[in-house]
Chain A
Amino acid sequence: MIEFQGVYKDYAGVRALQPIDLSIGRGEVFGVIGHSGAGKSTLLRTINLIERPSGGRLLLEGRDVTGVDGEALRALRRRIGMIFQHFNLLSSKTVAQNVAFPLRLAGRARADVERRVRELLSRVGLEAHADKYPAQLSGGQKQRVGIARALANGPDVLLCDEATSALDPETTASVLELLGGLNRELGLTIVLITHEMDVIRRVCDRVAVLDAGRLVESGSVADVFLHPVHPTTRRFVLEAERIDERERREDLAHARGRIVRLTFRGEATYAPLLGRVARESGVDYSILGGRIDRIRDTPYGQLTLALVGGDVERALGAFAEAGVRVEEVA
């Protein structure tokens, strides 16, 4: 659907984005995470060519669009919706007029526009607010208007530029839920950028990590989230779990025995495995830390255990056999 082939971007001689090779599939929710200034905003904006790549090729549905301009560019942009951190609604227009705006730009007939606006507003739950002005709405409602506006021309792709960063946690959750629903029900491909791992965890299928303009890690959210490799990725994961790395190291230093981290995914999360393995192997365990949560719709659990006495190797074998990933923690 969207393919970056060595796409890079220079600003005034400085390389903001190192050559990126990345492919985003149809119907996928793809997240890009990075600190501010990492280049994620630039990366997102190359997709609708608001930022033109300095080199490399950008393919949309297999077509090279890197050099497209004029009416062809505008037609392409109408197939790609975009929402923003600060919503960027027209303050002089009502909610309904804001949603109607892209339809009018595309030259749709008046009756057609009215019908479509009603449809879109009910989709995002704002029918009752059609005649209000953006200044009269809450942040979450404004973003819903943004989403309705972005969907107006029935795009294939939705670009989300830090769409939840200006919202409180509760509103963030409801906006993410809305985006997840649009992805499932309309098969909409979503590319979102964020600096919050939690956002990635909740809605994305795959994730790419950007650090100083470089793509340092990418893969399925479960793989990247549960087994981060690059230091930047690690920091994001620890941040999301609200773990202080130094404190954790101190905690582990007090524990006796072999320290391992077990990662359960899917059904294994709910299996009564720990007690059985302990009984069979004669290993005693103490729990040093852990959490059970979800990545998008898949449950997972991660436990850090100290194993003491008995047949530790047998216990580890039994875990692996049950589909649990075992890592030694230094």
Chain B
Amino acid sequence: MDEGWFANVDWAEIGQASLDTLVMLLGSLLASIALGLPLGVLLFLTGRRQLLEQPAVYAVVSFVVNVLRSVPFIILLIVMIPFTVLLVGTSLGVAGAIPPLVIGTAPFFARLVESALREVDRGIIEACQAMGATTRQIVFGALLPEALPGLIAGATVTAIALVSYTAMAGVIGAGGLGDLAVRFGYQRFQTDVMIVTVVLLLVLVQLLQMLGDRLVARVSRR
């Protein structure tokens, strides 16, 4: 073993792990948004005194969302394995990590979407109705654009939650920085590897937050 501060660190491996983390993050973020956005809109529209008030639909969707959100992610990772294999052919690696990540965060994002839409002034919905808008026109023409800053802030929070989830996915062999931290930093007591991975994750979170804040400021017209 070499001497020096970062003797155990294999920078090529760190690079690969960082890349894996980014791919997992991006892939599951996009999928979470694609799934969570319509789910959040559905929750909002079917909620009490909303455009498509449907207490039964709301209760069911809300219940499923709550159940998925209350399962600890580490358990969801394990429970999902058969389903993941069915879906992407493996439960390992980056591909194997994405399905549990999406199921873990899409319901979370859906709730953020629902609350962002509730922040939109009811008067705006009323004005649209008075103009003879259909529900679809209200959602796409007014609600989503008006809620955009809130939606981006929600996506930022979701992305950051995903960073920690990707690290956890390392435990079931997903690859990425978390996997590195577990296998080398924890199981082999290579503290330097642990420090490098933690610092990289920290930088990633900071960058995501900054990017999110900038985007929110850019689209905000209030």
Contact = CB atoms under 8 A, between A and B. Distances in A.
Interface stretch (A73-81, A243-251, A310-318): A73-81
A101 B143 CA distance: 13
Given A92-B145, A92-B148, A74 B123 contact: no
Contact of A82 (B127, B219, B222): B127
Interface residues of B, number: 21
Given A77-B131, A80-B130, A105 B123 contact: no
B132 interface: yes
Interface residues of A, number: 30
Interface in A69-118: 73-78, 80-82, 84, 86, 88-93, 101-102, 104-106
A135 interface: yes
B129 A77 contact: yes
A102 B222 contact: no
Given A50-B126, A92-B145, A105-B137, A135 B222 contact: yes
Contacts of B129: 50, 77
B131 A105 contact: yes
Interface string A137-167: 0000000000001000100000100000000
B121 interface: yes
Contacts of A86: 121, 123
B172 interface: no
B141 interface: yes
In order of increasing CB-CB distance, the 10 nearest A-B pairs are A77-B132, A74-B132, A88-B123, A88-B127, A82-B130, A78-B132, A102-B131, A92-B145, A133-B221, A105-B133
Given A92-B145, A104-B141, A149-B131, 7 more contacts: A75-B132, A78-B131, A78-B132, A84-B123, A91-B146, A101-B142, A105-B131
Interface of B: 121, 123-124, 126-134, 137, 141-142, 145-146, 148, 219, 221-222
